[in-house]
Amino acid sequence: MSKPIEIRHDQWKKLLERLEEDYPRSVVYIREKMKRKLGFVERVHKDWDEENQRWRKNCVMLDFYNESKQTFFIMKYSEYLDDQN
Query: What does the pLDDT read at residue 37?
Result: 95
Q: Does residue 12 register a pLDDT over 90?
A: yes
- Average pLDDT of the residues in 57-64: 92
Q: Does residue 1 register a pLDDT over 70?
A: no
Q: How is 6-66 classified by DSSP, letter by letter?
A: EE-HHHHHHHHHHHHHHS-HHHHH-HHHHHHHHSEEEEEEEEEETTTTEEEEEEEEEEES-
Confidence label for 82 from pLDDT (cuts 50, 70 and 90): confident
CA distance 40 to 78: 15
Confidence label for 83 from pLDDT (cuts 50, 70 and 90): low
Mean pLDDT rounded to a whole number for the chain: 89
Give the range among 13-22, 28-37, 45-54, 62-71 with minimum mean pLDDT. 45-54
Provide the CA 75 distance to its chain's centre, in angstroms: 14
CA distance 47 to 34: 25
